[in-house]
Amino acid sequence: MATPLEEITQNALKLSRRERMALASRLLTADEDGGDSAEIEAAWEEEILARIQAIDDGTAVGIPYEEVKRAARERRAK
């Protein structure tokens, strides 16, 4: 007899790709103990603001779009 986890996995694999991605997102962001979600959001907000500030200050080193596209094409070709 299959375990509950095996049954859930088999049912999840029958979902469409979009549904599986939505399920994965829900599972990864599920808040088991009820206390981490706000802390995580605050940490991301702080990180985002720091990155924006680095761009505004000119201390962030960007990568030109054409270089990013070239690198992506090279990775896909492998």
- What pLDDT is recorded for position 29? 79
- What pLDDT is recorded for position 41? 85
- What pLDDT is recorded for position 25? 86
Boundaries of domain holding 58: 4-77
Alpha-carbon torsion, ordered 23, 25, 27, 33, to 10 deg? -150
Residue by residue, pLDDT tens for the chain (78 residues) are 779 999 999 999 999 999 999 999 888 877 665 556 788 888 999 999 999 999 999 999 889 999 999 999 999 998
- What pLDDT is recorded for position 40? 84
- What pLDDT is recorded for position 52? 92
CA distance 72 to 55: 23
Q: How many domains in the chain?
A: 1
